[in-house]
Amino acid sequence: MNKGDFDYSDKYENFHLNEIKELQSFNATDYVLEIYMLNDGRILTNETHIEERENKYYKLCVYSVENGFNCDISIDFEMVKFFFQMNDGNVIIILFEDIKIVKIEKNTIEEIWNEKKKRVRITKLLNENFFIYSKEDKQRLLYKYDNGKLISYKNLDELYKKESFRFLCQINENEYALFSEKKGILYGTNNYLIFYDMKNEKKIKSIKIGDGEKTFSDFFLLNKDNLIIFGSDSNILVDVKNKKIKKEFKYGLFLDLCIFLNEKLFLYKDTFKLLLYEYQEPNNIILKEEKKMGIGIELISKYPGNKLIIFTEKNNKLSIYG
């Protein structure tokens, strides 16, 4: 799943989870590890095949679905961690030891850029910006996508030493939010959300999120005014305009299991069911609908036309729901 810019071309207005049904399906030959929707409406997958001797092989596949599922491309590749597609159609692929950019045509995939960078954590920001942290070389850099390349333009190592931030997101052109964990004056640790002016390199405001006993895994900018901090015990809704906590919800959700449909709606993937949550002004997030799927959902993604594409492990099944 990729959760970057506010690019909601499919609005999912009047979307009712309980009304969706399987429209078409396909049983892939191999196990699907990642799925991603391309700008042209085709489906990009990373798949693995296990030989009799238990040697794993990986491949990239591209499927068109206009007249049933048809495999346009199948090439040997590596295991993929993440996909990101840019506005020009090129796809950034995050591997375990490389970052690659490829151009996907009708029947071919061409590598156009590569950088060796091991064990990376990557966050897509606004306007095709990225934050990349490499555990191998301990560097924290801001990158910008430009003309088929990722170009680093700001080193955040000194900011990390100063603020001890664990993750960040971009709120607007110059303003960022940093989630920081700092030692208390006497003992323990405390969590803070820091609003930071990246252009002028100065702190705007810091708000305390709680002590270190609360575990938070990530956050996401739901829309231009609201940010959600995801934790194992609670989730916190933050007003980024007025820079204050709106409300804390005493249930745990994980960002990696969320699929954001628009600026108010998001799906949450459980193993055998889907949950539809809705943000309601000014400070509430409610469980709007719940649907038992009866199948073990492994992967889910948005699909053009306010639809969903779902992969289930049983029979390696790819299905479009709408």
**Does residue 185 surpass a pLDDT of 80?**
no
| 43 in Cβ contact with 309 (< 8 Å) | yes
pLDDT of residue 184: 65
Mean pLDDT to the nearest integer, 121-140 = 93
Q: pLDDT tens digits for 250-308?
A: 988 999 999 999 999 999 998 889 999 999 999 999 999 999 987 789 999 999 889 99
Q: Which amino acid belongs to residue 71?
A: C
pLDDT of residue 212: 64
Q: Exposed, middle or buried: residue 180 (CB in 10 Å: 0-12, 13-18, 19+)?
A: buried
How many CA atoms lie less than 13 Å away from 135 in the CB half-sphere? 7
- Dist CA 33 CA 42 (whole Å): 17
With cut-offs at 50, 70 and 90, classify the pLDDT of residue 52.
Answer: low
**Does residue 51 surpass a pLDDT of 80?**
no
Q: Which residue blocks in the chain are alpha helix, DSSP H?
A: 157-163
Mean pLDDT to the nearest integer, 231-251 = 94
How confident is the prediction for the chain on average, in pLDDT?
Answer: 91
Mean pLDDT to the nearest integer, 222-229 = 96
Mean pLDDT to the nearest integer, 144-151 = 97
| 100 in Cβ contact with 77 (< 8 Å) | no
With cut-offs at 50, 70 and 90, classify the pLDDT of residue 88.
Answer: very high
pLDDT of residue 187: 61
Mean pLDDT to the nearest integer, 227-234 = 92
pLDDT of residue 271: 80
pTM confidence score: 0.90
- Count CB-CB contacts under 10 A for residue 141: 18
**Does residue 1 surpass a pLDDT of 60?**
no
Which of 44-58, 226-240, 282-296 shows the lowest mean pLDDT across its residues?
44-58
Residues recorded for the chain: 322
With cut-offs at 50, 70 and 90, classify the pLDDT of residue 190.
Answer: confident
DSSP string, 48-111: EEE-TT--EEEEEEEEE-BTB-EEEEEEEE---SEEEE-TTS-EEEE-SSEEEEEEE-SS-EEE
- Dist CA 79 CA 61 (whole Å): 12
User: Where does 235-304 show beta strands of DSSP type E?
Assistant: 235-239, 244-249, 258-260, 265-269, 273-280, 284-292, 297-303
Q: pLDDT tens digits for 149-174?
A: 999 999 999 999 999 999 999 999 99
DSSP string, 146-161: ETTEEEEEEE-HHHHH
- Dist CA 223 CA 241 (whole Å): 11
With CA atoms as reference, report the closest residue to 45 among 67, 65, 17, 23.
65
- C-alpha angle 10/73/259, rounded to 5°? 30
What strands lie across the sheet with 139-146, from one edge to the other? 120-124, 129-134, 139-146, 149-155
Q: In sequence order, which residues have a C-beta less than 8 Å from that of residue 268 and are 6 or more positions away?
A: 253, 257, 258, 259, 274, 275, 276, 277
pLDDT of residue 98: 93
- Dist CA 192 CA 206 (whole Å): 6
Sign of dihedral through CA atoms 203, 209, 215, 221?
A: negative
pLDDT of residue 9: 55
- Dist CA 235 CA 108 (whole Å): 43
Mean pLDDT to the nearest integer, 233-248 = 95
The residues pairing with 247 across neighbouring beta strands, listed in sequence order, are 237
